[in-house]
Amino acid sequence: MECEYCDMLSGKSKAQSLYEDDAVIVAVKDMAYTPGQITIFPRKHFTILEQVPDEIMARCLAVADKTSRAVFEVFQAEGTNILIQNGLGAGQKVPHFAIEVVPRREGDGLNLQWQPKEMSEDDLDITAHQLAEEIQKLGDFTAPKKKEEPKEKKEIKIEEKESSNYLVKSLRRIP
């Protein structure tokens, strides 16, 4: 698979590495929203946020925070946008999860000023209800991510048991 960030690690990209450790890379690319933009990404290839293990995400965020301070210092930024473009529909250009730190100054001409629209009370209720239901299914956020495979297997076993009972019952009815 073609990946600009994995290419960078093998020296095949114009991007320049500023910092590397066993899990996280910090780089500047030849394409930037504003001068001084830095990109933080995991050394291992993950396409989207959902695939990134909690501990690596925590490392990426800590590095984004620290390197954001360098952006303030070097470019006299008045703010930074810490940006994750998660998926094609969100403007993600490279298929490798990354956090962008974008230096901002008043009048820099960058239009990230999304205007929120007011929702009706009904729409707000429906949205909150749908999301709350889905979020509850995700379980305890204080626990590390768990694999859901055992649960699925258990469900399959129950189905098998029920279907075999059904088969036994059906067989008994056959004279």
Task: Determine if 41 is a binding residue for Zn ion (CB under 5 A).
Answer: no
Distance of CA 64 to the CA centre of its chain: 14
Nearer to Zn ion, 3 or 61 (CB): 3
For the chain, the distance separating the N- and C-terminal CA atoms, rounded to the nearest angstrom, is 61
**Number of residues forming the site for Zn ion (CB under 5 A):** 5
Residue number with the shortest CB distance to Zn ion? Answer: 3
Buried b (16+ CB within 10 A) or exposed e, 148-168: eeeeeeeeeeeeeeeeeeeee
Q: What does the alpha-carbon distance between residue 2 and residue 105 come to, in Å, rounded to a whole number?
A: 34
Nearer to Zn ion, 9 or 70 (CB): 9
Task: Determine if 97 is a binding residue for Zn ion (CB under 5 A).
Answer: no
For residue 171, the minimal CB distance to Zn ion (Å) is 55
Identify residues 1-20 at the interface with Zn ion (CB under 5 A): 3, 5-6
Candidates 23, 33, 44, 45: give the one binding Zn ion (CB under 5 A): 45
